[in-house]
Amino acid sequence: MVFTAALALFGGPAANAATPAGADTALASLDPLFEKFMQDNHVPGLVYGVVVDGQLVRVKSFGVQELKSNTAVTADTVFRIASMSKQMAALATLKLRDAGRLSLDAVAEKYIPELRGFRYPTADSPRITVRDLLSHGAGFVTDDPWGDRQLDMSEADFTRLLEHGVPFSRAPGMAYEYSNFGYALVGRLITNTAKSGYADYITAALLEPLHMSASGYDIAKAPAARRAIGYRWENDAWLEEPTLGPGVFGAMGGLTTTANDYARYVAWLLGAWPARDGAEDGILRRASVREIARPANYAVLAPALDPGGCPRTVSYGYGVIPSHDCLLGFHFTHSGGLPGFGSNMLMLPQRGVGIFAFANRTYAPASRVVREAANSLVRSGAFPERPAPMSRALGAMAAVVLRIYTSGDVLSARESLAMNFLMDRGAPLRNREIADLKQKLGACQPAAPADSDTAMSVTLSFACERGSLQARVILAPTLPASLQTLEFTAQ
């Protein structure tokens, strides 16, 4: 199934924008990537989607959701998305924080009393905080193989586990170590603080307002005719995996959803960027949504994933992995893996683009093909970063910069110079540099409209008689606005 026309969703500031020019070809080129991924990784069925500026611009399904009946995957097939569920738990925690019902820097045992009996690894270990749980800094051991098999653990069994205590990998706050158990604790935190089960609270606080009616935490409640069955590939054959849940570990990996439902979430999530004026939607403050993608743990430099690629910084926020590389720029991602399922999402918030994929094969490495798809879309040039229009202060300073160049004297704008300006390079030297530029370029016109880096910095371009003049401008942290940096270059 393919939507070549955009489907409007719960979007952000550009939710009514048209599909970018040249995007159709770039989007269609993704199909072979996902088809090859399926073949190479023995995936029975898969669906992927691309959301751009609040619209589902492409959703395509391949293969089957269930082998016995050979039922095809559609955009309404219900998949388990495993650890991609963690961001929902994180967002729910931030909603409770915003309501004044918890603090991220409080010790977690304030909200989960059983933690008071934990035996810490050293006498000087700090107590685990809520922030430690959200960012995988609590000191628990990486537990994917074990944690993935706990989805049906009951509240009573979890309480007994907590009362018995668990071993630590290291003291809290020392390093990042991925912990599904830690996010099961986030689920208990939500349950105790909200005074309702974590699944009920997340459903009421996020899923229902986003009209994600096909999503939930109990796979048995999904219509059997639309349910993806999970398989593993073993001895050259597909074997059906057991279905687990619901239970307390669902906060770390129990969410079930469809491509059409999840696209609504992606549109809403990306709608928190950029920071701006305007009314909030009442679900969660935009600043709190953006908070999940803020690095909250130890950053590392990861190697390039493909030949000719570039290394990237990788950290952990709250339920997502913020990264930066030379092609995608700032982005955040997260995978999901369970017996029978593999998924991934990758968000490019400064481009308004989100890509996701769900597959029904155990630990299918969907992150590889989703990143390849993101790289392909960015390389196409059809999905540029959102421009940042010049602030009023920078717009006014553009006229000052032209006055300095035209007069050949920085002192003609003394009132606009920050206190460091002439201390860094005196007026005689600066004026000689301007004279040399004027001799080479001649007179210049007012600056062309420009997108700025921030509200405080921009590179201006002036068309001149014999070429163009570039001016790098950075304002000082003062009111009224003043120039702390002005660097001219001829082009």
Which residue type occupies 415?
E
- The encoded tokens of residue 3 equal 């939507």
Whether the per-residue pLDDT at 319 is higher than 80: the answer is: yes
Do 58 and 173 share a domain, yes or no? yes
**The whole model's pTM is what?**
0.92
Do 251 and 313 share a domain, yes or no? yes
Do 170 and 89 share a domain, yes or no? yes
Q: Quote the CA–CA distance of 149 and 133 in Å, as a whole number.
A: 20
pLDDT of 186-244, one tens digit each?
A: 999 999 999 999 999 999 999 999 999 999 999 999 999 999 999 999 999 999 999 98
- The encoded tokens of residue 198 equal 């974590």
pLDDT, residue 388, reads 84
Any idea which residue has 């005689």 for tokens? Answer: 428
Q: Using pLDDT thresholds of 50, 70 and 90, give the confidence band for residue 304.
A: confident
The average pLDDT across 402-414 equals 98
Burial label, 5 (beta-carbon count in 10 A; 0-12, 13-18, 19+): exposed
pLDDT, residue 8, reads 54
- The encoded tokens of residue 477 equal 């942290």
Do 27 and 41 share a domain, yes or no? yes
Whether the per-residue pLDDT at 416 is higher than 90: the answer is: yes
Q: Quote the CA–CA distance of 402 and 406 in Å, as a whole number.
A: 6
Angle in degrees, CA 384, 386, 389, rounded to 5: 130
Do 374 and 447 share a domain, yes or no? no
Give the domain extent around 17.
1-386
Do 405 and 365 share a domain, yes or no? no
Any idea which residue has 């229009």 for tokens? Answer: 389
Selection from 187, 162, 168, 334 nearest residue 250 by Cα: 187
The average pLDDT across 129-156 equals 96
Do 404 and 362 share a domain, yes or no? no
Do 7 and 34 share a domain, yes or no? yes
- CA distances 370 to 48, 132, 256, 301, 490, Å, are 9, 28, 19, 20, 42
Average pLDDT, the chain: 94
Q: Quote the CA–CA distance of 317 and 336 in Å, as a whole number.
A: 16
Q: What are phi and psi of 26, to 5 degrees?
A: -65, -40
How many domains, the chain? 2
Which residue type occupies 227?
R
Do 377 and 474 share a domain, yes or no? no
Do 137 and 269 share a domain, yes or no? yes
Do 486 and 362 share a domain, yes or no? no
Q: How many CB atoms lie within 10 A of CB 42?
A: 16
Q: Using pLDDT thresholds of 50, 70 and 90, give the confidence band for residue 245.
A: confident
Whether the per-residue pLDDT at 377 is higher than 50: the answer is: yes
Choose the final residue of a domain: 330, 352, 386: 386
pLDDT, residue 20, reads 65
Do 364 and 403 share a domain, yes or no? no
pLDDT, residue 173, reads 96
Q: Using pLDDT thresholds of 50, 70 and 90, give the confidence band for residue 18.
A: low
Choose the final residue of a domain: 337, 362, 386: 386
Q: Using pLDDT thresholds of 50, 70 and 90, give the confidence band for residue 2.
A: very low
Choose the final residue of a domain: 386, 407, 441: 386
The average pLDDT across 333-344 equals 98
CATH code of the domain covering residue 20 = 3.40.710.10
Selection from 184, 240, 178, 248 nearest residue 217 by Cα: 248
